[in-house]
Amino acid sequence: MECVFCSKTTLAAEKFYEDENFVAIYNIRPVVKGHCLVLPKRHIENMLEMNENERKSFISFSNKAVFIALKYAGTKDFDFLLQNGENAGQSIKHLHFHILPRKRNDVLAVNKTEFFQSFAKKENTMDTLKKEELNIIIEELNSITEKHKLQIDTL
């Protein structure tokens, strides 16, 4: 079975930002508003497999994706989360980092021990966005990207 994050169909529908090495997509089961993923274009499973180019551009790319997600969500706070490996809760075997914009008393506002269980459970039980809902979100993300292009380029 083809990897869902390598799938052209997935990327066509969910992608809102990219460079040579990485792509940012909107999570189709968003736990919070603005729940996005940063992933390398190459199919690798583990962060330790990132090549030199990917390592060099990772933070800059992630900053740009975070900026867009936070504008969309209307907050300045976020979790940046990697679940690397089965025991860390990695479900899709293509390296991906979660951007979770956070607000006071949001659905993830529990103590740190409960956080990961809560996160994993919610991600697997959230309703999948309808195609029209996703299209609207992607359009809005694209318009934020366009509007803030100069600032994003500096990140």
Under a CB-based contact definition with an 8 Å cutoff, are residues 41 and 95 in contact? no
Pick from 7, 59, 53: which is nearest to 38 by CA? 59
Which of 11, 138 has the CB closer to Zn ion? 11
DSSP 77: E
Residues tagged active-site: 96
- Rounded Cα distance between 70 and 66, Å, is 6
Q: Which structure tokens are listed for 94?
A: 């293509």
Chain contacts with Zn ion (rule: CB under 5 A): 3, 5-6, 43, 94
Helices (H) and strands (E) in the chain, counts: 5, 5
Which of 5, 67 has the CB closer to Zn ion? 5
Q: How far is the CB of 89 from Zn ion (least distance, A)?
A: 18
Under a CB-based contact definition with an 8 Å cutoff, are residues 14 and 28 in contact? yes
Residue carrying structure tokens 């690798």:
44
Which of 5, 78 has the CB closer to Zn ion? 5
Q: Which structure tokens are listed for 143?
A: 């318009």
Which of 8, 104 has the CB closer to Zn ion? 8
